[in-house]
Chain A
Amino acid sequence: MRRVSLVVVAVAVASLGGARIAAAQLPNGIVRPTTEPAAPSTQLGAELFAANCASCHGIDGSGISSPRPGASDIEGLGPALRGVGARAADFYLRTGYMPLSSPHKEPSSGRVLFSEKEIESLIAFVAALGKGPGIPHPDPAAGSIAQGLNAFTLHCAGCHQALARGGFVTGARVPPLQGVTATEIAEAVRIGPYLMPRFSTSQISNAELNSIIRYVLSTAHPDNAGGWGIGNLGPIPEGLVTWGIAAPLLIIGTLLVSRRARR
């Protein structure tokens, strides 16, 4: 009896922990041609696209808006990719947001199953679908953290939290930004992936974007001058420290000064 329930618990825990990553990836993994050329090419990109992306994005990248029965049991729905350019392909592929196992799941960053050569090929293919923005080259060192803190608080903190620890917006989880690269930040700000709004240069100039990126990169190592940062989340960890560390230690203190430790 006990052994059975342990197994049930283990499976439950494993499925909970693995749930999000599993959802972001295709149930059967990446489909790739048996022989790949040595160098990245649009041709390879086309083959990979056809095998892994076309079921949602359409064979020519024109998108699928109403479900049609397909060869596999994946319900295919996806936006058009004409004109999204190398920028979007680079972002969605390098973060692992794409491929997505179901159009109804929220994309989240996970293991990138494509190789570097395959990613470059897919980017070339998507870029060739229609003229679109190229991959940005931000320069965070040229930005100022002070300006970045100011701009991030105004435009981004509502969803991402003042220290980019992520958050909740009705219907979606906003990811924390520690470990994200400068290019990914620049791409996300300009694209507005999934439910995130996008900000063009008329609202956030490239110079301001450099500052925002520099600030976001700094949130991985915030200035915790006060000691242990306890997650930089604010009063929730502070309350946990009060009840989880201070209260037990104080009770130990009362036990030490009382005559009898046991009732």
Chain B
Amino acid sequence: MTDPLLQPVRFIDERTAAAPAIKKLLRYPFPDHWSFLLGEIALYAFIVLIVTGVYLALFFDPSTAKTVYHGPYTPLDGASMSVAYKSVVDISFSHQAGLLMRQTHHWAADVFVAAIVMHLMRVFFTGAFRRPRELTWLVGLTILFTALLEGYLGYSLVDDLLSGMGLAIGYGVGLSIPIIGGPVMLALFGAPFPGAPEFWSRMYIAHVFIFPALLATLIGVHLALVAARHHTQFAESPRHSERRIVGLPMFPAQVPRSLALMFFVAGLLFLLGGLVQINPIWQWGPFEPWLGTNGAQPDWYLGWLIGALRLMPSFDVTIGHYTLIPNPFWGGVAFPMVVVGVLAAFPWVERRLTGDRRVHNVADRPRNAPNRTAFGVAFLSWVFLIFVFGAADRIYVLWDLSYNTQLTLFRVAIWVVPAALFLVVRQLSRNLRDADVIEGDREAAMHEAEQRERARVAQAGS
């Protein structure tokens, strides 16, 4: 009596000898907590990016040659623009699903980075970056910063007024790298801004091939590393320990859950793509280097940089006739490097400061690591306040709070608030942790008293 299910399984195992590996994969345990799924959200957003991106690449023309628009969108009729910009206007108005795909693609990019940030915060505050997962942490950081660059290139390819201004700023920031900035940017752009025509091909190939391949590889390595050492878990019961992992098996329990999440993510992204307008490039108009608009902003994940650039006071560091450190360097290069550096070095710094070199498979509750939690909140608030200042001009327009007042306020607040938060959050964590300990001790004592009482009764009865 042959089991009909056996036939395809046998087919595969005969040709690949993969049955032991597949069996292991099917039994792979997933510790069950909603916050462990944040990384998967990023993964599914990435898949949506690939799918919608392929569609867009079938229509986009990365050429800076000039053309005149004559198409269904009448407010741009007769306007001079690059072929790249025109191809995006055509995608938006001359192909039925074009605008949906464009908007879904852009929302997916915003959500991709947001999911990575949420995932990073979960990993940080639960100490899941500790030994033996430091490499996974570093790979994840690389994914994050590659994603920032990839998104920036993506929306700059369109050559609209907003992203063109952003590209000029990127050029200016690149030039500000001490000594080598000029040659490096000239090499990248092929000529001074707006660059040689080949520059658009370079951006295009970087955005549709080089960086997606890099991201896919990094994500693969990241997932392989997680699987190799297995996921961390919370100490929910005595069964959950450093030695034993408890979770739901990949199959049949986790697969439908993860698939469901994938469909939710994809569904939400397409809903946003259909319902909420994003990057309406036909309203901004094409970019020219002599045009500027008030209120120009980068996408949200680069907002921290515009805040830093605007906060800096006016100075270039010069040596005689030479300009060693032009102003944009501080906000555009030094600041992100500090953030990357702190995040990347953190596993080792924490190891050095706490003296804890053990392997950790059990995730911390944030309250049980008061120093780390306090530092994380403080560091996050530093970056976040700089990010908020990036919108100070719109805050002024909306709520009449003087830009100059905000400038002075934020220059102080970005240092004072994190310091205060560090102390406050550390104390709060300690209080919560100690309260838990007291609660735990009390429960243990009650349990012990009950047992003694029961033993006494039993003894009295016998």
A and B touch in the complex (CB under 8 A): yes
- Chain A interface (Cβ < 8 Å from any Cβ of B): 16, 19-20, 145-147, 149-150, 153-154, 157-163, 165-170, 173-174, 176, 215, 218, 222-230, 232-236, 238-239, 241-243, 245-247, 249-251, 253-261, 263
Task: Encode contact with A along B281-309: 1 for CB under 8 Å, 0 otherwise.
Answer: 01111000001111111111001000000
Task: Tell me which of A232, A235, A254 contacts B298 (CB under 8 A).
Answer: A235
| Residue B41 is within 8 A (CB to CB) of chain A in the complex | yes
User: B75 touching A242 by the CB < 8 A rule?
Assistant: no
- Contact of B93 with A19 in the complex, beta carbons under 8 Å: no
Contact B400 A253 (CB under 8 A): no
**The stretch of B177-185, B260-268, B332-340, B345-353 that contacts the partner chain:** B260-268
A243 touches which one: B114, B283, B295, B393 (CB < 8 A)? B114
- Chain A residues in 8 Å Cβ range of B268: 246, 249-250, 253
Residue contact A168 to B397, C-beta cutoff 8 Å: yes
When the two chains form the complex, which single residue of A16, A168, A234 contacts B403, counting CB atoms closer than 8 Å? Answer: A168
A226-B277 contact in complex given A161-B293, A247-B114, C-beta closer than 8 Å = yes
By Cβ-Cβ distance, the 6 closest A-B pairs, closest first, are A239-B300, A167-B294, A226-B277, A168-B393, A162-B293, A253-B264
A194 to chain B, nearest CB (A): 16
Chain A residues contacting B277 (CB-CB under 8 Å) are 224-230
SS of A interface (majority): helix
Please state if A223 and B41 are interface contacts (CB–CB under 8 Å): no
Report how far A250 CA is from B40 CA in the complex, Å: 11
Selected contact of A163 from candidates B37, B110, B276, B283, CB within 8 Å: B283
Contacts A/B (CB < 8 Å), 16 sampled = A146-B76, A161-B294, A165-B295, A169-B294, A173-B397, A222-B280, A227-B275, A227-B277, A238-B300, A247-B114, A250-B111, A254-B34, A254-B35, A255-B34, A258-B257, A263-B234
Please give, as numbers and ranges, the residues of chain A lying within 8 Å of B139 by CB-CB distance: none
Contacting pair A251 B394 (CB below 8 A): no
Q: Assess whether B294 is in contact with A168, with CB atoms less than 8 Å apart.
A: yes
B34 to chain A: which residues have CB within 8 Å? 251, 254-255, 257-258, 261
CA distance A258 to B248 in the complex (A): 10
Interface residues on B, range: 35 or more
A-chain residues with CB within 8 Å of residue B300 when the two chains form the complex = 235-236, 238-239, 242-243
A224-B280, A259-B32, A263-B33 given; A150·B292 CB < 8 A: no
Give the residues in chain B near A218, CB-CB below 8 Å: 75
B385 within 8 A of A: no
Residues of B within 8 A of A215 (CB): 75
Say yes or no: B298 contacts A162, CB within 8 Å. no
Residue of B79, B115, B294, B303 near A174 (CB, 8 A) is B294
Extra pairs beyond A153-B161, A263-B234 (14, CB < 8 Å):
A145-B75, A146-B79, A150-B285, A162-B284, A166-B294, A224-B280, A225-B282, A230-B277, A232-B280, A247-B118, A254-B35, A256-B260, A257-B260, A258-B33
Inter-subunit contact A236/B294 (CB<8 Å): no
Beta-carbon nearest neighbor of B112 in chain A: A242
Residues A223 and B282 in contact, CB atoms below 8 Å apart: yes
- Asked if residues B161 and A149 are in contact (CB atoms below 8 Å), the reply is no
Which residues on the B side are within 8 Å of A223 (C-beta)? 73, 75, 282-283
Of the candidates B79, B282, B299, B400, the one having the most CB atoms from chain A within 10 angstroms of its own CB is B400
Which residue of B79, B293, B394, B397 is within 8 Å of A157 (Cβ)? B293
CA distance in complex: A235, B111 (Å)? 13
Known A253-B265, A258-B32; contact A234-B297, beta-carbon cutoff 8 A: yes
Residues from chain B with Cβ under 8 Å of A16 in the complex: 399-400
Contact bitstring B383-398, A, C-beta under 8 A = 1, else 0:
0000000010110110
With both chains docked as a complex, state the minimum distance between the C-beta of B287 and any C-beta of chain A, in angstroms: 10
Which residue on chain A has the smallest CB distance to residue B387? A239
Q: Flag if A226 contacts B294 (CB, 8 Å).
A: no
Q: How far apart sit A241 and B275, CA to CA, in the bound complex (Å)?
A: 12
- In the complex, the answer to whether A242 meets B294 with C-beta atoms within 8 Å is no
Produce 1/0 per residue, B252-275, CB < 8 A to A.
000001101100110010001011
Chain A residues within 8 Å of B373, by CB? none
A250/B391 in contact, CB under 8 A: no
Contact B78 A146 (CB under 8 A): yes
Is B125 in the interface zone, CB < 8 Å from A?
no
Distance (whole angstroms) from the CB of B146 to the closest CB of chain A = 19
Contact of B299 among A224, A239, A251 (CB under 8 A): A239
**Cα A229 to Cα B265 with chains together (Å):** 22
Q: CB distance A157 to B291 under 8 Å? A: yes
Chain A CB within 8 A of B432 CB = no
- Chain A residues lying within 8 Å of B75, measured Cβ to Cβ, are 145-146, 149, 215, 218, 223
